Amino acid sequence: MRALLPQREGSVHRDGVEIFYEVYGESANNGTGVTTLVLIPPSPISHSRIWKALIPDFARRYRVVTIDGRGNGKSGRPTSVSDHTRAANVADIVAVLDATATERAVLVAHCHANWWAVELTSAHPERVAALIAIEPGVPYLGTPQPHWRAAAATWDKQLDHPTGWELFNRHVITNEHRRWIEFFFGAQLVEAHSTKQFEDAVSWAMESTGEILATSEEAQDLAPPTRQEFEAICRNIKVPTLVIHGDRDVCQHVDKGRHFAELTGGELVIIEGGGHLGLVRDPVRVNRAISDFVDRTFGAPMNSHVWTRGLSRRKKALYVSSPIGLGHVRRDLAIVSELRKLHPDLEIEWLAQDPVTVVLRNEGETVHPASDWLASESGHIASESCGHDLHCFQALRTMDEILVANFMIFQEVIEDGMYDLVVGDEAWDVDHYWHENPELKRGSHVWMTDFVGYIPMPDGGDHESYLTTDYNAEMIEHIAKFPRIRDRAIFVGNPVDVVPETFGTGLPNIRDWTEEHFDFSGYIGGFTPPTPDQVEQWRSELGYRDDEQICIITVGGSGVGQELLEMAIAAHPIARRSVPGLRTIAVAGPRIDPDGLPRHPGLEVRGYVHRLYRHLAVCDLAVVQGGLTTTMELTASKRPFIYFPLAHHFEQNFHVRHRLDQYGAGTYMDYATTDPDRLAAAIVRTIGQKVEYRDVETDGARRAAAMIAELV
């Protein structure tokens, strides 16, 4: 799922070639008097998705136009050299400016697209308000890369066994396109732990063809200006210019960026340790550099600010609660309740997403208005599911643009709000990007989670093991390098609840590492289960009679799991033959339409149920997914339950199942091998069954609050 969809899209046709564009930020800013950024990708080796991590933040401030250059994306794919000249690409950009009614724009270009931007600025200065060059691939300037010079000498030769930069060869690129692309982007991404960025870059390039790429390379060298002519063009650029360049760029030497900034009189931002793809590898830094430049150049709208002297202000905390399932908010509310007992004057605001915001507002909490800007993480997770299958690790990886977009909003809130404390309950964006950009951290930071470590699924093979190991290694390195980012790390549980696995080959044992780097609060259930003599009272309050068997089916708040809900509903009439008077409550949750579900005698279908945990605490049986919160609520209440972990969901299949095994809780079933008849039989066997689970502590929220309170 994309972090932001365009307000409109369209295409222009030039000389028989379709050029696709998208427009963002138009409705929010009314499209009037607002700076327009035109993002130009280095096509055909990439297309407009290369800007995915920057667009959402830009679109809140500016009008944004993106282009798929000829040869890739949704644009046409001409194959002749004459179709890929610099002049053709410049004319495409002008045509898009006209089609989008953009009189003047800030051009933002990457790599060789900067040559087109320079020529457009020179030929049409009235259309360009400023130029932002990222790793500019312009001719002559700076220090030449020796591998390009050597490869150029063999460009058109038939090589027997080309390797390395020799792969930059017409015949190799045309006939072994992927081989060249994988080598090229592997060389460009010099930063460690760039597996996702590598996959993205390769996939974007492979949407074009080797023939088109080779042809476009040859077209760029047609009718080039002399060095003196090009330098004169650069000196004559009169618009404000910003250059962003990684100092380890092996495609365009950093000296090229320095020289370009010098000739144009532009500002220069060097990313030390950065390679050629800063806009995808360091999106926060690039985003902030561009926004700062544009705002200073064109004047950001003036906002009123109130600053309160330190001794006159109340202590203030921002609580970021994960929207992936509603369990986080239940425990977070319990922690906040205890925290207020310790610090009654602490002002707490929440940055959260639907459906978490529904719960918070029902509880009378203060939700920060910027919450409305957040891209939906739970919506993304739902979009990644198929049936009772959710590859959780891959879904988290493909959520990268959403996490960047939400972090940019979070950081803006933090810098404007003067918070003393940030509590992030699995706020992955905050933890990751503060470690990647440690200078941005504000106040004390509490990181909370109920699992540690990505674990590969068995059918993922060596490649998934490699990826999970790499992600785990990055997290371990982050903590080792910048321990100050997490002022306190709290594991919601006990050491025995941590899986006794390793983070991957050559990495530590997960439990040992977690014990070293986390404090343990014990489990936080968010409520106190009823005692045996309270069960009757609770059932009466909820409308359940003592003489009826209550089965509750619930699949959480994310929208993933409709298939399980439907299978359990189908099992109800079968089970009711053996359990006369069986009353089943099917809870659709906030993201599944209850009106689309079947109806049977003795079955009630409900949408969102406020305080569902009270119903689960007194049921005779629950049928649920493998999510931690719901299964642990049932464990704490000593209720029998059947749980179905989502296929390929590493957390439910490893971390949650391990924890439930420690408590001796629940009946595991495999969705893939279960049908309504088998589930009905399990319901008949399990309903009303006496259980002997290990007790779940009830003071976890108090213990977590005490740990947090030390930082207030």
Q: What are phi and psi of 552, to 5 degrees?
A: -110, 130
Could you give the CA distance from residue 409 to residue 405 in angstroms, rounded to a whole number?
Answer: 7
* Radius of gyration of the chain measured on its C-alpha atoms: 29
pTM, 2 dp: 0.94
**323 within 8 A of 352, measured Cβ to Cβ:** yes
Q: Are 626 and 648 in contact (CB under 8 A)?
A: no
Q: Under a CB-based contact definition with an 8 Å cutoff, are residues 624 and 630 in contact?
A: yes
Tokens matching residue 668: 């595991």
pLDDT at 121: 98
Residue 24: in which H helix or E strand, if any?
strand 17-24
* Tokens coding 52: 């995915």
Angle at 95 between CA 91 and CA 96, to 5 degrees: 120
**Cα atoms found within 13 Å of the Cα of residue 514, Cβ hemisphere only:** 27
Write down the pLDDT at residue 457.
96
What average pLDDT does this structure show over 620-632?
A: 95
DSSP state of 66: E
Specify the DSSP class assigned to residue 82: G
Instruction: State residue 611's pLDDT score.
Output: 81
Q: Is the pLDDT of residue 378 over 70?
A: yes
Strands annotated E in 468-602: 488-491, 519-520, 550-554, 583-587
Domains with residue ranges and CATH for the chain: 8-144+217-298 (3.40.50.1820), 146-214 (no CATH), 317-525+703-709 (3.40.50), 535-686 (3.40.50.2000)
Q: Running DSSP on this structure, what letter comes out for residue 515?
A: H
- Name the amino acid, one letter, at 213: L
**Angle made by CA atoms 645, 650, 655, in degrees to the nearest 5:** 80
Return the pLDDT at 560: 74
Crossing angle of helices 195-205/177-188, nearest 10°? 140
Q: What is the DSSP string of 191-245?
A: SSS-HHHHHHHHHHHTTS-HHHHHHHHHHHTSSPPPHHHHHHHHHT--S-EEEEE
- Lay out the sheet containing 347-351: strands in order across: 347-351, 316-321, 421-425, 444-449, 488-491, 519-520
pLDDT tens for each residue of 270-280: 999 999 999 99
User: Cα-flanking dihedrals φ and ψ of residue 150, to 5°?
Assistant: -65, -40
Separation between Cα atoms, residue 450 and residue 493, nearest integer Å: 7
**pLDDT tens digits, residue range 429-456?**
999 999 999 999 999 999 999 999 999 9
> Please, which residues have CB within 8 angstroms of residue 90's CB and are 6 or more apart in sequence?
116, 119, 120, 123
| Residues with Cβ within 8 Å of residue 671, at least 6 apart in sequence | 388, 563, 564, 567, 644, 646, 647
Q: Check if the beta carbon of residue 242 is closer than 8 Å to that of residue 269.
A: yes
Count of alpha carbons within 13 angstroms of residue 421, beta-carbon side: 25
173-197 average pLDDT score = 98
Count Cα neighbours of 231 within 13 Å in the Cβ-side half-sphere. Answer: 10
pLDDT tens-digit series, residues 385-437: 888 999 999 999 999 999 999 999 999 999 999 999 999 999 999 999 999 99
**Backbone dihedral angles phi then psi of residue 711, each to the nearest 5 degrees:** -100, -5
Q: Which two tokens stand for residue 280?
A: 């995808």
Rounded to whole angstroms, the Cα distance separating 529 from 697 reads: 10
What confidence category does residue 173 fall into, taking pLDDT thresholds of 50, 70 and 90?
very high
Please report the pLDDT score of residue 66 as a whole number. 98
Q: 325: pLDDT confidence band, cut at 50, 70 and 90?
A: confident
> What are the tens digits of pLDDT across the range 545-569?
888 999 999 987 656 778 899 999 9
